[in-house]
Structure 1
Amino acid sequence: MATLYVDYQQLVMQAYEQKKGNNMLPHGLMHLTPANLKDECVKKCTMDVNRRDEKIIRDFCGDLNESKSCQVILQRCETDKFRPLVNYLKGKSENTDAKNIELLAWLLDFPDRPWVMGKVISGMDQPAETPIIPEIPTIPEIPDSQNSPESSSIPVRMNTFKEGENTGKPTAIAPAGKITRKSTKSLVAAIMLSLVAGTGGMWWWMQPPATGDCMYWHEDRYEPVACNQRIPNAVIVPRDTLRLKYFRKITRPDTITYRAIGKVWYSKIKGEIEFFTLPGEHPVVFGYQLRPLTIYMIKTRILQKN
Structure 2
Amino acid sequence: MFEDYKEKVILTYQEKRDAGAISVNLLRPSPGKIKDECLIVYQERCSKKDERAFRLFFGPKDHITDYGQSISKLEIDKFRPLMNFMNRRTNVTEDKNIELLAWLIDFEPRPYQIWNNFKGDPTTLTASEIINEPATAVDNNFQPFTSLYRPEDTEDKETKVHIAGISTTETEIKEETETTNHEIQSLFENQGVSHKKGSKIRKTITSFMIILAASGGTYQLASLQNQECMYWTGDHYKRISCNQKVKDATVLALDTAKAAHLRKITQPDTLTQSSVGKVWYTKIDGELEFYTADGYHPMYNDVRLKPITVYMLNKYILRK
Common fold, TM-score beyond 0.5? Answer: no
* Higher alpha-carbon Rg: 1
Identify, as 1 or 2, the structure richer in helix. 2
| Shorter-normalised TM range | 0.3 to 0.5
* TM-score (normalizing by structure 1): 0.40
